[in-house]
A and B are shown apart, each in its own frame.
Chain A
Amino acid sequence: GENVEQHPSTLSVQEGDSAVIKCTYSDSASNYFPWYKQELGKRPQLIIDIRSNVGEKKDQRIAVTLNKTAKHFSLHITETQPEDSAVYFCAQNPGGYNKLIFGAGTRLAVHP
C-alpha cells in the first residue's frame, strides 16, 4: 500500500542526547525518502532526504539511514538542542512517482 508508519509519536530527550525516529513503508517501488521539520504554525521544511541507491546520508548533526530490504528508514539527530524541538515528518513516494505520502509525525521535545 501507500501508507507509511512513523514511530514514536512523541519523543522527549535531554539536551545533548540523541533522538531517533523510524518509519516503515510497504511499496518496494518507493525510491525517495525525505524528512521534514515543522515548527508550530510554520511550513514543513526539508531537512534531509535519501534516495534508494544509498544506505546512509549525513548532514552535520542529522543523518538518515535506509534499509530497503526491511523497508524502513530512520532519522538520527545527535547532540540535540532546544531549537530541534518540533514535529518531524517522514515521507515516501509510492510507485517511485513524485507524489509524497507523509507519516503521522513525531513531536520531539528537547529539554535544556
Chain B
Amino acid sequence: EAGVAQSPRYKIIEKRQSVAFWCNPISGHATLYWYQQILGQGPKLLIQFQNNGVVDDSQLPKDRFSAERLKGVDSTLKIQPAKLEDSAVYLCASSLDFRTDTQYFGPGTRLTVL
C-alpha cells in the first residue's frame, strides 16, 4: 500500500515570497490533515479536511495560509506572504475516515524562509 506522498521535500524562499505544498493521501482515505512542525516541537494541526470539506481550521493563520482539497483527494497548502517564523516542516497526514483515529504521515516538506 502506497503511503502519503508530499512534494516538494525541501523549499527555500525569501520572506514575503509565496510557496505551495502538495499532498496525496493514502488511496481511499477520506480525512486529510496538514500539520506544522517547528524544530524541537511536536506537530501542530493547521487544518483538517473530510473529503473536500473543512472540519477544523481553527489554528490556520488565515491572513497568510490557505488550503484546499477541491476533489476530495489531493490537497495543497499555500503561504502568501511567508514570514521568517514559517520556517518549519509541513506534514500531511491522512486517515480512513472521520471516525477512524489512526493517522498516517507523509515525509513532510522542510520550508526555510530567509
A residues apposed to B, CB below 8 Å:
6, 32, 34, 36, 42-46, 49, 51, 89, 91, 93, 98-105
Q: Bin the interface of chain B by size.
A: 20 to 34
Interface residues of B (CB under 8 A from A): 31, 40-45, 48, 55-56, 91, 95, 98-108
Closest chain B residue to A33 by CB distance? B101
Q: How many inter-chain contacts with C-beta < 8 Å in the A-B complex?
A: 50
> Could you say which of A45, A89, A99 contacts B48, with CB atoms under 8 Å apart?
A99
**Contact, CB under 8 Å: B45 / A46:** no
Neighbour of B42 across the interface among A34, A98, A105, CB < 8 A: A105
Assuming A42-B107, A99-B48, is B91 touching A49 (CB within 8 A)? no
Cβ–Cβ contact B101 & A89, under 8 A: no
CB-CB under 8 A from B40, the residues of chain A are: 105
A46→B103 contact, CB < 8 A: yes
